[in-house]
Amino acid sequence: MNPQVGQAQKPGVPHSARILLLVAGLMGVAMYAADALVEAALHHHGELVDQLIRPDSAVLLIRLGVAGLFLALGWAAYLLLRRERSSAEHLRMAESFLSSVVDNIPDMVFIKDARELRFVRVNPAGERLVGLSADELIGKSDYDFFPEAQADFFTGTDRNVLSSGQVLDIPEEEIDTRHMGCRLLHTKKVPILDKDGRPAFLLGLSEDITERRHAEHAVQVEKARAEHYLEISRSMIVGLDREGRVNLINPRGCEILGWTEAEILGRNWFDTVLPEKIRTRERELARDLLDGHAAPEGVYEGEILTRAGQVRQIAWNLALQRGPKGEVVGTLCSGQDVTDRVMAELAAQRHHQELAHVMRLSTMGEMASGMAHELNQPLTAVVTYCAAAMVLLDREPASQEAVRGTLEKAAEQARRAGDIIRRLRGLVKKGDSTQGLIRVDGMITEAIAFLEWELRQSAIDLELTLNGGDRPVRADPVQIEQVLINLIRNGLDSIRAGAVAGGRIEVETEVTDRATLRLTVRDNGPGIDPYVLSRLFEPFLTTKAKGLGIGLSISRSIIEAHGGSLWGENEPEGGSAFGFELPLAAEEQGGEAERLDGR
Amino acid sequence: MERLSVWMVDDDPSVRDALGVFLEIAGFDVLAFESGESFLACPQLGGARPRVLLLDQRLGGGMSGLDVQAELSRRGVSIPIVFITGHGDARMAQAALQQGAASFLEKPFHHKDLLDSIEKAAAQGKR
């Protein structure tokens, strides 16, 4: 990566020193030979070989001394030269090592001279950062490359450092680079003094912190946004730690609860906010969530207590708070205040009950004359049997058997009258809405009893096909009976209105594969007028002279309040059909049905 | 002494039974019908005529008491009729009287009123 970083050379004897040593050796040998040659020529006349090999011992001593002197001189020169060469090598190596260090620092390193603040050195990281090569930079000042305002700032801080002699830390400064636009730097500037203590150079270290700042900024924006969400949310948002202490609450939460954030933070949620009756249950729910035994799914409705002691109904969505390693550290709850909705539902239910009562009264009015007539039958019979008994008693001898038989018949008719009265009272009674497990098939048989006389009066055949089975539905029996009577009476009225001969009403029940009980009432009357059909469930729309027009409308709201649906249509082969579907109660509750079935 | 023959039409079996028991004890021959149609279809109607007819206004099936009365007068059959009505049928009873019924009784009635009405009707028939 860095071309200037070379392999440091191995320390050793330089080549020139070896040559010097060799020359000194050769010179020693040459001096020995030259002296031998001169001696042979001057004194012994050609006895060169003798002079070389067997000289006088004195001569040999001198010769060897001169040669040794040369050799010693050469050796000394060699040693001197070698030491000099070695220290220069060391210096060069040290310099190269430092350069390598500087060049490998991943942050920008630059050196300026203290006098004119011109670049003396810039490392490769610096070159890459500003987008200028060292060659371009060296010898130039900041004013040659950067906008004036930036150059003013750089040189200003340079001068501060040099005049104070102190290291300066600049946490954030902007620099316009050639290739990477404006970058943010964290720079440290260090004065470098000469041996007299005067500033000679300025050393600068700059780290590019642009990415880190951007990331930090993004985190801050994210955090601000999250806080903003918490702030504007119309849901109350509450965080609880593992012990159930509040560790987060938003303004809406404070508004609903009537506590300030400072007051509620750290308090135990269960002890502070939940009504006592549900504390244990809620604690268990929270523990199951924290331990992973339950998943935070769906909406959960529950009550809370405000600081002023008011009960509010909250629909909660739950989530888990997780720590850095993904471990569950608490729960996060988002709650909608649904108190008003729940109150409205209750009011609507009350209203609905009142309307249903009006309908019962109206039905009763329509049925009153029929009921009165029916009541007159057993009463007439009672009176007449009694008259017969009295006549028998006046006879001599009175027949006890005959009197008893007649009175028994009278008593039976009186009981029949009582039954009729009871039924009538059941119809008028308003009664509280009490849900129970009921079997619709049994209920149909009871409802028919109210209508028997009218059906007989109009010579209408009633056919029951009851396949509702044993599975009960959870419902208010009085209301469902009301719907049954209403649907059958509609069929009856339709047949009467159409003056149909051979009137027929079929009542059918079946269990569908949607786990619902389906009831259908078919008549062979003239069917529903198309105009009426489109507005079948509008209240106060009636085709009957005496009707209130609320029967179907209320019947439908009753069935829908029980989670079912009610419909009306014309049959393809004539006549009309009305029916409803109610969800079957869950299987395991079947036992309770035995108790409530008879009603 | 010849027993007076009383026929009655009422759709309620217990009323038919009670009236039957009482009238037998009281000394009448009783013949009961459950509907206007079955009464009008009785072959004896043309011959041994009943002396008094107890006719309930409200009858199961197609015909009402008034319908039966109208049919009898259409056929020219003259039988004194005691109309029996339920509660609230007073206007109907007035109509019956205007069409020649002897009297009417509102259920439930006292047995002395019943006997008086039958006697009165029988007397009317003799005239």
Question: In terms of pLDDT, which residue wins out, A330 or A589?
Answer: A330
Same structural domain, A593 and A500? yes
Grouping H, G, I as helix, E, B as strand and the rest as coil, residue A293 is coil
Question: Is there a domain that residue A10 lies in?
Answer: no
Note the pLDDT tens digit of each residue in A333-357.
Answer: 999 888 888 887 777 767 667 767 7
Question: Is there a domain that residue A443 lies in?
Answer: yes
Grouping H, G, I as helix, E, B as strand and the rest as coil, residue A339 is helix
Whether residue A472 contacts residue A517, with contact meaning beta carbons closer than 8 Å, is answered with no
H or E stretch covering A108: strand A108-113
- Residue A420 sits at φ, ψ, to 5 deg, of -65, -45
Binned at pLDDT 50, 70 and 90, residue A498 comes out as: confident
Same structural domain, A470 and A531? yes
> How far from chain centre, in Å, is Cα A271?
27
> What's the domain range around B80?
4-126
Grouping H, G, I as helix, E, B as strand and the rest as coil, residue A289 is helix
Whether residue A456 contacts residue A489, with contact meaning beta carbons closer than 8 Å, is answered with no
Same structural domain, A185 and A296? no
Whether residue B81 contacts residue B121, with contact meaning beta carbons closer than 8 Å, is answered with yes
H or E stretch covering A187: strand A182-193
Spatial neighbors of A591 by CB under 8 A, at least 6 apart, are none
Question: Is there a domain that residue A8 lies in?
Answer: no
Grouping H, G, I as helix, E, B as strand and the rest as coil, residue B53 is strand
* Region for residue A244 given its phi and psi (left: phi exceeds 0; alpha: psi -120 to 50; beta: otherwise): left
Q: Is residue A415 less than 8 Å (CB to CB) from chain B?
A: no
Note the pLDDT tens digit of each residue in A265-306.
Answer: 999 999 999 988 888 888 888 888 888 888 877 788 888 999
Whether residue A192 contacts residue A203, with contact meaning beta carbons closer than 8 Å, is answered with yes
Is the pLDDT at A432 greater than 60, yes or no? no
Q: Half-sphere exposure (CA, 13 Å, Cβ side) for A561?
A: 23
Q: Tell which A residues from 292 to 321 touch B, by Cβ distance under 8 Å.
A: none
Chain A residues with CB-CB distance to B19 below 8 A: 384
Whether residue A433 contacts residue A443, with contact meaning beta carbons closer than 8 Å, is answered with no
Spatial neighbors of B123 by CB under 8 A, at least 6 apart, are none
Q: What is the pLDDT of residue A366?
A: 60
Are residues A369 and B109, on separate chains, in Cβ contact within 8 Å?
A: no
Is the pLDDT at A596 greater than 70, yes or no? no
Strand partners, B85: B106
Q: Is residue B92 less than 8 Å (CB to CB) from chain A?
A: no
Q: Is the dihedral of CA A180, A182, A184, A187 positive or negative?
A: positive
Number of domains in chain B: 1
Same structural domain, A123 and A147? yes
Question: In terms of pLDDT, which residue wins out, A40 or A521?
Answer: A521
Rounded to two decimals, the ipTM of the complex is 0.87
Candidates A385, A457, A459; nearest CB to B18: A385
Whether residue A482 contacts residue A445, with contact meaning beta carbons closer than 8 Å, is answered with no
Binned at pLDDT 50, 70 and 90, residue A428 comes out as: low
Question: Is there a domain that residue A323 lies in?
Answer: yes
Mean pLDDT computed over B103-115 = 89
Same structural domain, A288 and A386? no
Q: Is residue A387 less than 8 Å (CB to CB) from chain B?
A: yes
Q: How far is B87 from chain A (nearest CA, A)?
A: 6
Same structural domain, A331 and A342? no
CA dist B91 to A405, B86, B104, Å? 37, 11, 11
Same structural domain, A329 and A342? no
> What's the domain range around A298?
233-336
Largest CA distance in chain A: 213
Are residues B87 and A372, on separate chains, in Cβ contact within 8 Å?
A: yes
- Distance CA(A555)–CA(A484), nearest Å, equals 9
Size of interface A-B (CB pairs under 8 A): 79
Q: What is the pLDDT of residue A587?
A: 65
> How far from chain centre, in Å, is Cα A365?
58
Chain B residues with CB-CB distance to A365 below 8 A: none
Q: Is the dihedral of CA A125, A130, A132, A136 positive or negative?
A: negative
Q: How far is A386 from chain B (nearest CA, A)?
A: 9
- Distance CA(A487)–CA(A525), nearest Å, equals 13
Same structural domain, A481 and A587? yes
CA dist A327 to A223, A291, B83, Å? 21, 10, 92
Residue of A nearest to B105 (CA): A380
Token pair for B80 = 């004194």
- Distance CA(B5)–CA(A209), nearest Å, equals 125
Same structural domain, A177 and A289? no
Q: What is the pLDDT of residue B42?
A: 81
Q: What is the CATH number of the domain that holds A496?
A: 3.30.565.10
Residues in chain B, total: 127
Token pair for B125 = 């028939």
Q: What is the CATH number of the domain that holds B87?
A: 3.40.50.2300
Q: What is the pLDDT of residue B92?
A: 77
Note the pLDDT tens digit of each residue in A130-141.
Answer: 999 999 999 999
Token pair for A191 = 């004065």
Same structural domain, A249 and A325? yes
Which runs of consecutive H residues, i.e. helices, occur in A40-180?
48-53, 57-104, 124-130, 134-137, 148-164
Same structural domain, A177 and A249? no
Are residues B111 and A387, on separate chains, in Cβ contact within 8 Å?
A: yes
Q: Is residue A384 less than 8 Å (CB to CB) from chain B?
A: yes
Angle in degrees, CA A208, A183, A176, rounded to 5: 130
Question: Is there a domain that residue A3 lies in?
Answer: no
Q: How far is A380 from chain B (nearest CA, A)?
A: 4
Binned at pLDDT 50, 70 and 90, residue A117 comes out as: very high
Q: What is the CATH number of the domain that holds A265?
A: 3.30.450.20
Number of domains in chain A: 5
Same structural domain, A95 and A82? yes
Give the residue from A81, A101, A121 where a domain finishes.
Answer: A101
Give the residue from A66, A101, A136 where a domain finishes.
Answer: A101
Question: Is there a domain that residue A324 lies in?
Answer: yes
Residue in A374, A377, A406 to test binding to B, most B beta-carbons within 10 Å: A377
Mean pLDDT computed over A149-174 = 93
Question: Is there a domain that residue A481 lies in?
Answer: yes
Pairing of the two strands A461-467 and A504-511: parallel
Whether residue A43 contacts residue A55, with contact meaning beta carbons closer than 8 Å, is answered with no
Grouping H, G, I as helix, E, B as strand and the rest as coil, residue B91 is helix
Spatial neighbors of A596 by CB under 8 A, at least 6 apart, are A436, A437, A438, A472, A477
Q: What is the pLDDT of residue A595?
A: 43
Is the pLDDT at A151 greater than 80, yes or no? yes
- Residue A435 sits at φ, ψ, to 5 deg, of -85, 140
Mean pLDDT computed over A416-424 = 79
